[in-house]
Copies of this chain bind each other. A is one copy, B any other.
Amino acid sequence: MTDPAPPSPLPGPVLVVGCGLIGTSVALALTRAGAQVHLADALRQHAEVAEGLGAGTTRDPERVGLVVVAVPPDHVAESVAEALSAWPDAVVTDVASVKLPPLEALVDADVDGLDRYVGSHPMAGSERSGPMAASANLFEGRAWAVTPHQRARTAAVEAVRSLAVSSGATLVEMPAAEHDAAVARVSHLPHLMSVLAASQLDGSPADHLALAGQGLRDVTRIAGSDPGLWRQILYANRAPLTDLLRGVRDDLDRLLGALDSRPALEQVLDRGVAGTALIPGKHGEERSAALVPVYVQVPDRPGELGRLLRDTGESDVNIEDLRIDHDLGRPVGLAEISVRTERADHLVEALTERGWTAHL
């Protein structure tokens, strides 16, 4: 699945069409990698923001070796077709979350130059959107799926492999249909489960919600993402999603039957535990497995957070992630600072010495 071979050089100049979070991040990463990058967006303002961030130039290119189409899912096929006809010598890829529907649309439309198109999908994102949220490092350590089709030229496939590797990502290759089945299971279905969980809060009294903990926040976090974007992604991938959702409904019926039986209920829970054990980076992968949360009580006064973060920095412990559990009717917030396991005890000691109430 992962390509160990060194990538062929990136064909340039590169034209990035669509300067949102992903497009601008690709442009930033490729510019840093030494490529000449041109920026285009239906909203010229977006392209200019990206240019201001150093992602490339908004000047029209004279020639283009690679076009990266980073537009909303509903417009991918149309935008790829335009790029193929506008730049007859260029390889064209897109970075959309669903791969088979745009490929099928291009095949059905019998577009010229289909052999120069190879779809791809970087597995990176953010709750934020738009060029301001972009980062040249967005793809570091992330998977980037490349989905060749039968009519694709080898040179085109190699160019898109090179795009993924030049952006700092890890290459994963599979056919478009298999990719769509995979993301339906590991991304789109979990998103819908998060939405269903969040939807049940509708009409809940405020003092019931006062009992909410971190578990609810984690399960429902992605349900807060942009519905306009997700509507397009889920609609495009509705075929494999429908099968998975029917499976969930069957499991839900089994669960309803199991609630009256301790052993049956524990079987349901065991299957969930087994599922989490399969996730890379949850138990296996070194980075996230190496992190633990340190909890610190933060008085609700101006400057307290700054003091905490300063003290943490001065204790030479790097903050991998930080979250404030800040609730109504509480005099204090609870900061959850994720740090490397081997530094956690040191941080608790250092913060305690500085008068903080901290614990693992």
CB-nearest residue of chain B relative to A207? B1
Residues of B within 8 A of A234 (CB): 259, 265, 269
Contact of A279 among B199, B217, B291 (CB under 8 A): B217
Most chain-B Cβ atoms within 10 A of its Cβ — which of A174, A208, A241, A311?
Answer: A208
CB-nearest residue of chain B relative to A298? B141
A89 in the interface (beta carbon within 8 A) = no
- Give chain B nearest CB distance to A222 CB in angstroms: 4
Q: Are A327 and B286 in contact (CB under 8 A)?
A: no
- Give chain B nearest CB distance to A195 CB in angstroms: 3
Contact of A242 among B235, B259, B321 (CB under 8 A): B259
- Stretch of A9-17, A34-42, A61-69, A250-258 with 4 or more beta carbons under 8 angstroms from chain B: A250-258
Residues 333-360 of A, flagged 1 when their CB comes within 8 A of B and 0 if not, give: 1100000000000000000000001111
Q: Are B332 and A140 in contact (CB under 8 A)?
A: yes
A278 in the interface (beta carbon within 8 A) = yes
Q: Are B231 and A219 in contact (CB under 8 A)?
A: no
- List residues 182-202 of chain A with CB under 8 A from any CB of chain B: 182-183, 185-187, 189-202
Q: How far is the CA of A235 from the CA of B285 in the complex (A)?
A: 32
Residues 291-306 of A, flagged 1 when their CB comes within 8 A of B and 0 if not, give: 1000101001111111
A281 in the interface (beta carbon within 8 A) = yes
